[in-house]
Amino acid sequence: MVRRLLSIWFPRLASDASLRNRPVEGPFALTHRSGNADHLHCLNPAAERRGVHRGMPLADARAICPDLSTRPADLARETVALASLRRWASRYAPMVASDGTDGLMADITGVAHLFGGEGELRADLHARLERAGLSVRSAIAGTRGAAHALARHGGGIIADGDLAAGISRLPVSALRIDHATAEALARVGLSQMCDLLAQPRAPLARRFGQGLVLRLDQLLGHQPEPVAAGAEPPHFGVRMTLPEPIGLQSDVMAGLSRLLDRLCATLALHHHGARRLRLELRRVDHGTAQVEIGLARPMRDPARIAALFAKGVDEIDSGFGIDAMRLSAPITEPMPPEQIGSGPTLRHEDALADLISRLGNRIGFDRVLRMQPADSKIPERSFQLVAAAWSEPVAAPPRHGPARPLTLFPPEPVSHASGHPPAQFRWRRMRFTTLRAQGPERITPEWWFDDPTWRSGLRDYWRIETREGPRLWLFHTPQAPDWPAPEGAQNWCVQGEFV
């Protein structure tokens, strides 16, 4: 069977996808920041007719076309759009692969007769994509290189046996070679494919490298270039259509329980756990309601997840009834199987994760924090606050020096201090008498941080046990005799309290 390949090129994929959601009249372009300036990333035909082109600095484009409308490009959304088109194009071929960032390559060997021929297949493809608002060019040839080259230089069909004649007038830049090699070929008079094909291979390889010869062999079919479609990522979503509308919370939770069983089974099959779940409910009046929850750690336990949905489901307005439900996990993480024992009791880390999930869904996951040790000798920088849902607990490294207090606060000057360390002093309008003192622990400022509170220089920290009961952490600043402090403080401050 003769091999036939279909190349589909979307010359304005990014701008077409953006304009589908938010149409704009007149010249339009997407911009992308490169270096210290914005450049045109993709533009519509109206902008091209005004003389602007891809890669042009935005400032130059506005000078040529003052009424140019722009939006920032979203490269991630462009990748998602091409992946969606690749799945859609499987209606024309069993194997469809991405071809760069703006094209597709489909192996239509033995398929074209189902559409009435290759011409009818291309016509159907173009009609459907144009109705969707997408600009497209396509070509059919016997090799991947020839189909790619023809799609980007006019499009059409190269019949079997006419490969050399069909590509003879194409420029050498259509070979998928770098710009420098194409310019070097043009300087020696090899500007078209027919000029290049007539040359012996050995001199071409010596002067322009083996990459050029490889592209020539792929173009002519001497080197195989299969269409290898990448594996589709697993889709974690299930749905249910109800025979009769429901509206009670108990009925919705019962349907959710069934969906969770199916979804968690799929997650377990792919060794994944959900980090975010979305429940979509369709009402009989074609309205929709949505409940979305986040999880503090990857999870696929239906019972524990259902408990987190209860509050959101209770607040849903079911209207005249709900006739369809859809549950999806838009964010997942790898979660390999683990041995959790045979008992039904909930582990401590699971109970903590459930608590963080409940709090995070109510007040926001960025407000549920945990403390983690940091590599610093400065007391106020020896720890950091991180989101509990996106971090793991870290044990504090063993300390080999004096103990640090659990309660820290900004330095508070003391007054009427006598002695070194002070035998008596006043703090927070109370008088204290020192019973025992341990120290000093000298801490030097980190010179690479300009911290105003440490401009007084090094500090000598003392652990003071008072006769009145409190055990305080005092420090003295010997390098700053004029450091601002109340009269009689003698450069002593309290920064912590031991429990």
Could you read off the pLDDT of 7-22 as tens digits, one per residue?
Answer: 999 999 999 999 988 8
Looking at residue 345, what is its pLDDT? 54
Q: Is the pLDDT of residue 336 over 80?
A: yes
- What is the pLDDT confidence band of residue 486, given thresholds at 50, 70 and 90? very low
pLDDT at 487: 45
Instruction: Supply the pLDDT for residue 229.
Output: 74
55 pLDDT above the threshold of 50: yes
Q: Residues 346-373: what's their mean pLDDT? A: 86
Q: Which of 77-86, 198-207, 211-220, 399-408 has the lowest mean pLDDT?
A: 399-408
Residue 489 clears pLDDT 50, i.e. is over it: no
Find the range with the poorest average confidence among 3-17, 294-308, 316-330, 441-455.
441-455
Is the pLDDT confidence value at 198 over 90? no
The whole-number pLDDT of residue 339 equals 66
Question: What pLDDT was estimated at residue 61?
Answer: 95
Give yes or no for residue 342 having a pLDDT over 70. no
Residue 469, pLDDT above cutoff 60? yes
Note the pLDDT tens digit of each residue in 154-165: 999 999 989 989
Question: What is the pLDDT of the chain when averaged over all its residues?
Answer: 90
119-133, 166-180, 278-292, 332-346, range with the lowest pLDDT: 332-346
Mean pLDDT score, 139-152: 94
Chain segment 269-319, per-residue pLDDT in tens: 999 999 999 999 999 998 999 999 999 999 999 999 999 999 999 998 888
> Average pLDDT for residues 346-360, to the nearest whole number?
84
| Mean pLDDT in residue range 464-486 | 81
Calculate what percentage of the chain has a pLDDT beyond 90: 66
pTM over 0.85: no
* pLDDT one-digit tens code per residue, 384-434: 888 988 888 887 777 777 888 888 999 999 998 888 899 999 999 999 999
Closest CA relative to residue 432, chosen from 467, 407, 402: 467
Q: Which whole number is the average pLDDT over 25-52?
A: 92
Kindly tell me if the per-residue pLDDT of 213 is higher than 50: yes
Q: What is the CA radius of gyration of the chain?
A: 35
Residue 473: which pLDDT band, with cuts at 50, 70 and 90?
very high
pLDDT bucket at 340, cuts 50 / 70 / 90: low
